[in-house]
Structure 1
Amino acid sequence: MSPTLTRETVMSEAGITTGPVPLVCPYLYAPVCGSDGITYPNTCALDAAACKDPAITLAYGGQCVAITHEQKPCPDTCPFDYSPVCGSDGNTYANKCTFESSACTDSSLHIVAYRSCDSSAAQPPCPQTCPGEYNPVCGSDGNTYGNLCALQVVSCRDPSLRMTSRRECGAPFNTCPDVCPDQEDPVCGSDGVTYRNECVFQAATCRDATATSTAGECGTTTTTTTTTTTTPPPQSFTLFPPRPFCPNTCGRGFRPVCGSDGKTYYNRCLLMLRACLKRRHLTVAYLGFCV
């Protein structure tokens, strides 16, 4: 079995000296609560703190809820709308406000599901960990999240939160991506071309305001023809940014993957980091150790 490539190994191969904590964390606010009761701006910042104190782990997504004796006044009136939530006491509350009215005097009470307690509809558990790759999305709350999973961690506890765009909040729509994830999630462009994922489509067509895409590969029944045009081709696209800007924000979660180069990586993010530093096309062959 080949040795597992860690973050330190990948960085040292590129001649980059690293310390025990991540060198750079993205300037995005996707808060998470640590087991130490501190709210960190994103998972990378929490990982940095965990490097110094291994006892620190992710408690849940979102800001830490401080329990103090100086609570705001308990609500005495609530709207009549029915948006049931299930409390940890097994009772169904008509809406979040009526739940908060009860929880105001019982600090141990918390929401376990945004539905009635007796509902047979099983809800998937909230994600506890997310990949370290930076593929920003904008939430309806105006916050930029590192990737869709990071948004889902928060939206699992706040169903009103949704994704509004697959880019940083406030980024102009004509901004061309300069790096895309290597994930296989094909979309069909209005030009009849199948793109590896939505980001690659945006990179190739971001100068064309009329371009649209639909999920899935383009139909195989379409007849392909070769035409000559004087229109300049779309902006050239590369999967990799300049080496100094390769995403050096990989977390330390041990989720080994086997790369297409036959080497085992500590996690998927480190495989992508090595691909960026080496300017090589690497993909995940399968999850787990290479055999």
Structure 2
Amino acid sequence: MGVSYETVKWTYTGKSLQSQSDRIPGRGGGLPSTLIRLHVLCLGHPPQTLIRLAFFSAGNCWLQQGRNGRCQVLYMPGMSREECCRSGRLGTSWTEEDVPNSTLFRWMIFSGGAPNCMLCKETCDNVDCGPGKRCKMSKRSKPRCVCAPDCSNVTWKGPVCGSDGRTYKDECALLKAKCKGHPDLEVQYQGKCKKTCRDVLCPGSSTCVVDQTNNAYCVTCNRICPEVTSPDQYLCGNDGIIYASACHLRRATCLLGRSIGVAYEGKCVKAKSCEDIRCSAGKKCLWDAKMSRGRCAVCNEPCPEQRPDEAVCASDNATYPSECIMKQAACSMGVLLEVKHSGSCN
């Protein structure tokens, strides 16, 4: 909301008040939407100088300008351009019109954003994109932040295996992928991702472990686990063994060199079917007919759009588009399905 200041001199003549005012322009412009006067009258004293504040309607602040040139994602209504653009955030935009909420709603839902959209930043001057990024002018002559990681300290020039199980042509390519929306992505080990721990050289004191999809990962093993103080910490492993805590199960996984996994919380029970197993909230029991054991699994997770290289061959000798799709099929049937190997069964 913009503000203009008006100095008003009030003179008491004994019968009435006379005033003389000087307007000092402020930001915002337009006709006053709200007028506040501060009235002070001190009889028997010299004329008093008062300040009258006239508040003017401001525009609207938006978080981005769309490809259609309209402002999108409303940040704050009733905000002046100076206040809106103060943060220096790239993409922040402003519209001058002060419109009712119904108009804002119509713009956002039916018009693809607000018209007459003005970017706060028109150039890359003084734009801070943060670590690993730099400002670059787009083909439409608008500033945008692009991934530009510092690869000057990268010594290994060959392929690397990422913590997401994907092979990257080099560490710099992995850093770019990390910048583009995978903040937890790290280098697992040098070289292409492997299906066994053979020839995998893990950095530091980490140990190679093969997961349930037969992909090799480098993990840090906890050699010492804290003393168990509660029976609630017990876990039943997928191998049918009772583990005193999650730490004990992770340690066993490290020493074994392959994934064990949690069947369910608590001690393992001799179950004849899933009716004998109590799963925690949000999980469903799936029966492993081969081992005559039950396993609790999360069954309500949506699957992202799969890629052609994510297909897996399951323990029922059927090919599924992804491991997530395989798990959904297992949940619908109530039976346990595991990945035999990546790719098609054929």
User: Which interval holds the TM-score relative to the shorter structure?
Assistant: 0.3 to 0.5
More strand by share: 2
TM-score by length of 2: 0.29
Higher-Rg structure is: 2
Which TM-score applies when normalising by structure 1?
0.33
User: Which protein has greater RCO, CA pairs closer than 8 Å, 6+ apart?
Assistant: 1
